[in-house]
């Protein structure tokens, strides 16, 4: 394999969506600091996840990937991390139990701090400033000072990711993810909702099964801990390049900033810097594919990113929108499958369904999210391919960012608790409803 390109090589490719740093010396200092920082994940863990995603590609497992659109430094608190983990654990147990399929659990967590933007600028009340690009780049506050890109924030991304991952690792191995906790995950406001009651009934069944297993003397390790992996969009090249290291076991490069990294819809140019960098690392990776993707685009991306056609290496995350998926996806899946390309197909039902509500908030309809997932299942079922997973933006809190769902949130509710730093996320009740609906789709 050819050598990893230098950062200068990558910048020579005119990468999209990069910060314009005012002070090159400060960038060099931050990158130098990151290059000596210990890995956040081990290459061997990335390989384990790759094996699990290979099972997804074979139709033997389902991927659940979820978390914030944009994590924030202020959001690195015990409550916030636990709440996100809790909703993902609840969703995973619903999918596993109700659909009897192993679920590969991946958070958009511990690194999801950089955002691509459709516009470089934001205007409010006649004032125009650079757009917020995530805490990795600049500040959310709408002031000229806060919107200046600061490379020291990349070091903060590293530290925030390390703190988050440390807590996640403790939660998933230290008893919180023990299946005997299945009831305790169903706390407070969720328990009162109708989907919370549905969950409660399922948890009772699981508890009965566990008691039976215990009585016959079976108590496997899997009851007490879960495998959970981190992921984020590999966007800011300074950060991802500095975190790319040669694994001493295999002598090959891994991006040790997260287990799984993906390339966004706006940075997937075949000759672009992001595709180039990720073609050199050995992690399992994803590429977002929007409705403009042609089968030739997808085949060229697969050839460049996974030339050995290794199963589990490449995930295509489609995000067409509810109105486009049934017409657009079949041709893509058909041609990629006919070419013998090994890929896990995952549905992002969020990014093709964003619109501005009359109240001015960016939102998504729960019904559109479900409709896109149903379209994804319909297309794959009709082609005999495996609908391999779900990639969603969600939070463990009771926010009001997406409309619809069992609580029937309306435009007027959005102002009540809209906390996202970027795109609207499903709240905890909506996330659990989604899991039950997807479990039904998987069972059919
Ligand atoms: C995202 O996942 O937050 C995102 C920006 O997605 P996409 O690249 O698909 O627009
Ligand atoms: Mn988003």
Q: Which ligand is nearest to the CA of 288?
A: 1
Angle CA(259)–CA(284)–CA(107) in degrees, nearest 5?
Answer: 40
- For residue 305, CA distances in Å to 191, 263, 280 come to 44, 11, 8
Q: CA-CA distance, 284 to 306, in Å (whole number)? A: 10
Contact in structure between 53 and 410 (CB atoms under 8 Å): no
Q: Which two tokens stand for residue 339?
A: 């070419």
Pocket test for ligand 1, best of 288, 320, 325, 422 (most atoms within 8 A of CB): 288
Residue 69 CA, closest ligand 1 atom number? 3
Statement: residue 1 has pLDDT above 60 = no
- Residue closest via CA to ligand 1's atom 4 equals 264
Q: How many A from CA of 355 to the centre of ligand 1? A: 14
Cβ of 46: how many Cβ atoms within 10 Å?
Answer: 23
Measured CA to CA, the distance from residue 140 to residue 145 in angstroms comes to: 11
Kindly list the distances between the CA atom of residue 333 and the CA atoms of 199, 287, 319, 339, 357, in Å, as whole numbers in the listed order: 34, 14, 13, 10, 33
**Does the pLDDT of residue 188 top 80, yes or no?**
no
Distance 112 CA to ligand 2 centre (A): 10
Measure 264 CA to ligand 1 centroid, in angstroms: 5
The band of 183, judged by pLDDT with boundaries at 50, 70 and 90, is confident
Q: What is the pLDDT of residues 103-152, one digit of tens each?
A: 999 999 999 999 999 999 999 999 999 999 999 999 999 999 999 999 99
Residues with CB under 6 A from ligand 1: 69, 116, 233, 264-266, 288, 319, 351, 423
Tens of pLDDT along 228-269? 999 999 999 999 999 999 999 999 999 999 999 999 999 999
CA of 339 to the centre of ligand 2 (A): 31
- The arithmetic mean of pLDDT across residues 266-283, rounded, is 98
Confidence band for 424, pLDDT divided at 50, 70 and 90: very high
pLDDT tens-digit series, residues 202-222? 999 999 999 999 999 999 988
Q: Is the pLDDT of residue 175 over 90?
A: no
Is there a contact between 278 and 285 (Cβ–Cβ < 8 Å)? yes
**C-alpha neighbours within 13 Å on the C-beta side of residue 429:** 22
**Ligand 1 centroid to 160 CA: how many Å?**
21
Using pLDDT thresholds of 50, 70 and 90, give the confidence band for residue 31.
Answer: very high
Q: How far apart are CA 239 and CA 325, in angstroms?
A: 34
Check residue 137 and give its pLDDT: 98
Q: Ligand 1: which residue has its CA nearest to atom 3?
A: 69
pLDDT at 2: 74
């Amino acid at each position: 394999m050819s050598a990893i390109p230098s950062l200068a090589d990558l910048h020579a490719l005119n990468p999209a969506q990069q910060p314009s740093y005012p002070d090159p010396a400060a960038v060099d200092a931050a990158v130098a600091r990151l290059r000596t920082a210990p890995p956040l994940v081990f290459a061997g863990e990335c390989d384990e996840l790759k094996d699990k995603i290979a099972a997804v590609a074979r139709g033997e497992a389902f991927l659940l990937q979820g978390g914030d659109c944009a994590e924030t430094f202020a959001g690195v608190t015990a409550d916030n991390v636990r709440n996100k983990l809790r909703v993902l654990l609840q969703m995973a147990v619903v999918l596993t139990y109700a659909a009897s399929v192993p679920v590969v659990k991946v958070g958009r967590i511990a690194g999801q701090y950089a955002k691509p933007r459709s516009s470089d600028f934001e205007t409010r009340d006649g004032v125009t400033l650079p757009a917020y690009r995530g805490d990795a780049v600049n500040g959310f506050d709408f002031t000229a000072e806060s919107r200046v890109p600061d490379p020291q924030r990349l070091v903060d991304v590293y530290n925030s990711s390390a703190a988050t991952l440390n807590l996640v690792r403790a939660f998933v191995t230290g008893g919180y993810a023990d299946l005997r906790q299945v009831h305790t995950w169903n706390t407070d406001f969720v328990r009162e909702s109708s989907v919370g009651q549905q969950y409660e009934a399922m948890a009772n069944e699981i508890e009965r099964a566990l008691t039976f297993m215990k009585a016959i003397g079976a108590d496997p390790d899997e009851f007490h801990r879960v495998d959970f992996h981190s992921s984020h969009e590999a966007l800011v090249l300074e950060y991802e390049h500095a975190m790319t290291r040669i694994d001493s076991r295999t002598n090959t490069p891994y991006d040790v900033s997260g287990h799984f990294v993906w390339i966004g819809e706006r940075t997937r140019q075949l000759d672009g810097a992001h595709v180039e960098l990720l073609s050199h690392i050995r992690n399992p990776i994803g590429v977002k594919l929007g409705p403009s993707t042609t089968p030739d685009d997808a085949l060229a991306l697969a050839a460049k990113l996974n030339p050995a056609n290794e199963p589990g290496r490449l995930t295509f995350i489609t995000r067409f929108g509810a109105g486009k998926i049934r017409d657009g996806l079949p041709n893509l899946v058909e041609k990629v499958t006919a070419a013998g390309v090994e890929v896990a197909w995952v549905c992002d039902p969020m990014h093709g369904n964003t619109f501005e509500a009359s109240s001015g908030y960016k939102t998504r309809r729960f019904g559109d999210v479900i409709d896109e997932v149903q379209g994804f299942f319909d297309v794959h079922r009709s082609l005999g391919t495996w609908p391999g997973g779900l990639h969603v933006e969600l939070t463990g809190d009771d926010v009001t960012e997406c409309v619809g769902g069992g609580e029937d949130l309306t435009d007027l509710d959005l102002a009540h608790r809209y906390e996202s730093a970027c795109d609207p996320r499903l709240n905890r009740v909506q996330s659990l409803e989604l899991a039950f609906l997807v479990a039904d789709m998987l069972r059919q």
